[in-house]
Chains A and B, each alone.
Chain A
Amino acid sequence: MISFILIILVSLFFTGIIVRTKSITSGRKGPGIFQPMKDIFRLFKKGSVYSKTTSFIFQIAPSIYIASIIMAIMVIPLGQYKGIISFDGDFVFFAYVLGTGKFFSIISAMDTGSSFEGMGASREALFSMFAEPAFFILMGSFSLLTGHTSFQEIFASLHFGSYISYILGALATFVLVMITMVENSRMPIDDPKTHLELTMVHEVMILDNSGFDLGMILYATNLKFAMYGALIANLFMGSFPLYLTIPIFFIIQVLFAITVGILESFTARFRMNHNAQYILALSSVSLLIFLGVLLVLKQFS
């Protein structure tokens, strides 16, 4: 329960910090960190416009999308403290409940019949598909290392002792950060700021959404960021008590947001055909983690 509340709290200002970081690095003052949330509240007050070519799928998809993310957040623990839901193998549930939401956002984009949105949907589907092995190899290695299969037990029993385990921690953080960037369609995979439909991945899929629906989708993005941030924070918590884990949680989330902002300020995005290679390369980094785990467990003799 505590992790759920913390993630909701962080989601209120996470993208605000990214935007602010990007403003400062480009020499501008930038909006306050709650500005993205204010924009979303403004959208919540508006009605939606639906195109005549769309069906009911287009109307229910935003709700399913945000619901899937809220469900995924429910399984995320805070160190040794369980999430709202926790059971053996819940990381598989986590991945596929997100997949369900993504599936609906993809078919709702196809539902509009626009040539842009079809293009965006195909890109999003491809990139998520490539990101999936990285996530599962990573989580699989951790459950092999700890002997548990639920998020809470894995994270509570993760402890760093040897040099190899520090390397594993660093690699895992890198993989999770990059999966976050892929799943949230951020740089260097996608440019959330662009106005050019032809280069968009995620943004082009929601071109037809408006008002309340758009507000839900945008808020879902904020939630997703906070959720992955929480996952990364969990790597460093072990079984610390609450008065330590809560500050660690916030510090890591803010650091993560600033990192994303800096990453987006000083590089150009990839060419679209390099994205697939890049995301697949994440899987090989995960494989390195797997090898490291085998080393730690002394499987090589």
Chain B
Amino acid sequence: MNYISLKNNQTIALSAIPELDYVSFLELNVSSVKNSGYHCVNYFGFPFAGKIKLICCIANDELQTINVSSSVADAKHELPSFTKNNLVFEKFEREIHENFGIAYKDHPWLKPVRFPFNRYNKEAGIADYPFFNIESEELHEVGVGPIHAGIIEPGHFRFICNGEQVLHLEIQLGYQHRGIEQLFLEKKKLLQRTTLAENISGDSVAGHTTAFVNLWESLCSYHPGSDLQLSRTLALELERVAVHTGDLSGMCTDVAYQLGSAVYGRLRTPVINFFQKWCGNRLAKGLIRAGKTNFPFTSELGLELTMLFNEFETDFNSMSEELFELSSALARFEKTGVITNDQASAVGTVGMSARMSGISRDIRFSHPHDFYTELNHRPIIKNHGDVYSRAQIRKEEIRQSIAYIRRLIKNGPAETGKAEQLSSPQPNSFTIALVEGWRGEICHCAVTDEKGELIHYKIKDPSFHNWLALALAVRNNEISDFPICNKSFDLSYCGHDL
């Protein structure tokens, strides 16, 4: 075997990962993502014994496994690129190039990804980003950002337009870079690291923190009790309900449909307020901790949540009936910002952005963890790939999540687990954790040294893949439809920039 198959949240010795020469490493991974049911969840490098160790993780969605292989590269030599054979590796290789200066001879354009402070080439700054240019009398460029017109995060969008029609959009990110991956190595305390995980992306607190604690517990050979698993699963599903509802409100705002914007906006509030009641923070910060929980999910909370959803569902259903039958809103949603199935597979989108184009990609189904093993989740798939599909997926996933939450509560709060102490991490190990956050697949990987200290921590937010899908979606659309396309993807700037 030239790769090793792992389960989600499984720790193995670093030496157990087969180390191949670069050419067979390339062939193995490029040929395996060709098959349907396989996709690349992470591909990264880190300095190891004076060279760069590359690790590629390909998920097998049918067998619930992750195939991990590795190779060692030298920054001095030019290498053939994966991207030449399959575009899904495009951004991973740009990142490796940016961090370690590995030159790829046939990569289409090794553009900077996020300008990390510890990048290989410090000469080029964020102001020198090499944009794709046009020289034409007829076409014009529109630059938006990095200061956002609303209150969200910074990013620069460069449109090349023919009148009102967008021919090309290039998205430049990196303004939110905080060096989170490096901070994971520098901050040695578990609490510090958990707090870091909570702050990767403020709207995916439950997602990223669950990925971190699952990874950490696996690294420490700790098996979480069912009470911990329950509260994590509940937090993930509650977060999904809250953010999806907020996004539906945002989408209504962007088509200037005031009623939808007001009603969905109001509906989101009690859900995030429930987090406040549960753990003291509306974004669920402080709720999820490795090896323990400071805020057990009691039966009183369960009762309250059931009542909350009884009220929520009535209003949500009548509002959704209204919105999904309102011709003026549908005229804006339908056939806007289309990503075809071929485009989505080429880009390697994950989460909602994959499911809207007929790709069944959902970690809750393919690599279940925590209580998802019992929920028997079936992903919601749409096929049109337009704004309407994304709105529909949100609506149906909210209903699905509420049904899951009801089932979890009905089975009662699980018994309090044994107060087992968290030991220290295993030395010389590799762990991978996959979580389906509301936005899509979140992947955390960790590598430890002989003392059990982290030597590399790799985070991949779903936005990493999906930003490119947004850029493709707005092509040939009107520039005035960009805001609704952007909101319907609702990608994270800080999750990408780390």
Q: Which partner residue on chain B sits nearest A269 by CB separation? A: B256
Write out, one digit per residue, whether chain A residues 138-176 have a CB within 8 A of any chain B CB (1) or not (0): 000000000000000000000000000000000000000
B278 within 8 A of A: no
Within 8 A of A (CB), among B277-334: 326, 328-329, 331-332
A267-B328, A268-B329, A272-B480 known; A187 vs B256 contact (CB < 8 Å): yes
Residue from the list B257, B266, B478 in contact with A267, Cβ < 8 A: B257
Query: Across the interface, do B331 and A268 meet the contact criterion of CB distance under 8 Å?
Result: yes
- Using A271-B332, A272-B480 as known contacts, say yes or no to A265 and B258 having CB atoms under 8 A apart: yes
Chain A proximity of B253: nearest CB distance (Å): 8
Decide yes or no whether A295 CB sits under 8 A from chain B. Answer: no
Tell me, in angstroms, the Cα distance from A265 to B326 when the chains sit together.
13
In the bound complex, residues from chain B placing their C-beta under 8 Å from that of A269 are 255-256, 328, 332
Chain A contacts for B258, CB-based, 8 A: 22, 25-26, 193, 264-266
Asked if residues B164 and A273 are in contact (CB atoms below 8 Å), the reply is: yes
Can you sample 18 A-B contacts with CB below 8 Å? A26-B262, A26-B263, A28-B262, A187-B256, A191-B256, A196-B149, A196-B254, A199-B480, A268-B252, A268-B255, A268-B257, A268-B329, A270-B332, A271-B331, A271-B332, A272-B164, A273-B164, A273-B478
Given A119-B142, A265-B259, does the pair A274, B331 have CB atoms closer than 8 Å? yes
> Chain B residue with minimal CB distance to A27?
B262
Checking B150, B256, B479 against A268 with a beta-carbon cut-off of 8 angstroms, the contacting residue is B256
- A10-32 interface with B by 8 A CB criterion: 22, 25-28
Task: Check if B142 sits within 8 Å of A115, measured CB to CB.
Answer: yes
Distance in Å: Cβ of B169 to nearest Cβ of chain A: 11
- Are the C-beta atoms of A198 and B483 separated by less than 8 Å? yes
How long is the Cα–Cα vector from A28 to B328 in the complex, in angstroms?
Answer: 23
Within 8 A of A (CB), among B329-388: 329, 331-332, 336
The interface residues of chain B, by DSSP majority, are classed as helix
CA distance A193 to B256 in the complex (A): 8
- Shortest CB-to-CB span from B33 to chain A, Å, is 35
- Are A198 and B480 interface neighbours, CB within 8 A? yes
A116 to chain B, nearest CB (A): 7
| A interface residues, how many (CB within 8 angstroms) | 29
C-alpha gap A271/B257 in the complex (Å) = 13
Pick the 7 closest A-B CB pairs, nearest first: A26-B262, A191-B256, A268-B257, A268-B255, A269-B256, A268-B329, A272-B480
Residue of B141, B326, B479 contacting most chain A CB atoms (<10 Å): B479
- Do the beta carbons of A116 and B142 come within 8 Å of each other? yes
- Our pick among B141, B253, B328 for the contact of A188 (Cβ within 8 Å) is B328
Please encode chain A, from 266 to 289, with 1 for each CB lying within 8 Å of some chain B CB and 0 for all others.
111111111000000000000000
The A-contacting residues of B in range 142-161, CB under 8 angstroms, are 142-144, 149-150
* Chain B hits for A28, CB < 8 A: 262
Give the distance to chain B from A219, nearest Cβ to Cβ, in Å: 23
Query: Cα distance A130–B258 when bound, in Å?
Result: 27
CB distance A27 to B266 under 8 Å? yes
Given known contacts A197-B149, A268-B332, what 12 new A-B pairs fall within 8 Å (CB)? A27-B266, A115-B143, A191-B256, A193-B258, A194-B253, A194-B254, A198-B142, A198-B483, A199-B480, A266-B258, A271-B332, A272-B481
Q: Which of A247-266 contact B (CB under 8 A)?
A: 264-266
User: Within the complex, what minimum Cβ distance (angstroms) separates A266 from chain B?
Assistant: 6
Which of A28, A199, A265 has most chain B Cβ within 10 Å? A199
- For residue A265, which residues in chain B have a CB less than 8 angstroms away from its CB? 258-259
A298 contacts the other chain (CB 8 A): no
Which residues of A are found within 8 Å of B480, using beta-carbon distances? 198-199, 271-272
Give the residues from 96 to 118 in chain A that come closer than 8 angstroms, CB to CB, to chain B. 115-116
Instruction: Mark contacts of A218-247 with chain B using CB atoms, 8 A cut-off: 1 yes-contact digit, 0 otherwise.
Output: 000000000000000000000000000000
Q: When the two chains form their complex, are residues A271 and B259 in contact, meaning their CB atoms are under 8 A apart?
A: no
User: Is B53 interfacial (CB 8 A cutoff)?
Assistant: no
Please judge, given known A-B contacts A187-B256, A268-B256, A270-B331, whether A195 and B478 are in contact too, CB under 8 Å: no
Contact of A270 among B140, B259, B328 (CB under 8 A): B328
In the complex, which residue of chain B has the Cβ closest to the Cβ of A116? B142
* Contacting residues of chain A (190-219) with chain B, CB-CB under 8 angstroms: 191, 193-199
Which residues 22-46 of A sit at the B interface, judged by CB distance below 8 A?
A: 22, 25-28
Question: Which residues of chain A have C-beta atoms less than 8 A from B331's C-beta?
Answer: 268, 270-271, 274
User: Is B404's CB within 8 Å of the partner chain A?
Assistant: no
List B contacts of A116 (CB < 8 A). Answer: 142
Interface string of B460-498 (1 = CB under 8 A from A): 000000000000000000111111000000000000000
Chain A residues within 8 Å of B255, by CB: 268-269
Residues of B within 8 A of A188 (CB): 328
Chain B residues lying within 8 Å of A270, measured Cβ to Cβ, are: 328, 331-332
With contacts A26-B262, A115-B140, A269-B255 known, is A198 near B482, CB below 8 A? yes
Chain A residues with CB below 8 A from B150, complex form: 195-196
Q: Which residues of A contact B266 (CB under 8 A)?
A: 27
Which chain B residues border A272 with CB–CB below 8 Å?
A: 164, 478, 480-481
Closest to B161 in A: A119
* Residues of A close to B144: CB separation below 8 A: 197-198
With A and B bound together, what is the CA distance between A301 and B480 in angstroms?
Answer: 50
Q: Counting chain B CB atoms within 10 Å of each CB, which of A22, A115, A193 scores highest?
A: A115
Which B residues, 243 to 274, have Cβ-Cβ distances below 8 Å to chain A?
252-259, 261-263, 266
Output the least CB separation between B398 and chain A (Å).
Answer: 20
> Which positions 192-213 of chain B face chain A at CB distance < 8 Å?
none
Q: In whole angstroms, what is the CA distance A273 to B335 when docked?
A: 14
Q: How far is the CB of B454 from chain A (nearest CB, A)?
A: 41
Interface-centre pick from B140, B142, B143, B336 (highest chain A CB count, 10 A): B142
CB contacts (< 8 Å) of B164 on chain A: these are 119, 272-273
- Of the candidates A26, A188, A272, the one having the most CB atoms from chain B within 10 angstroms of its own CB is A26
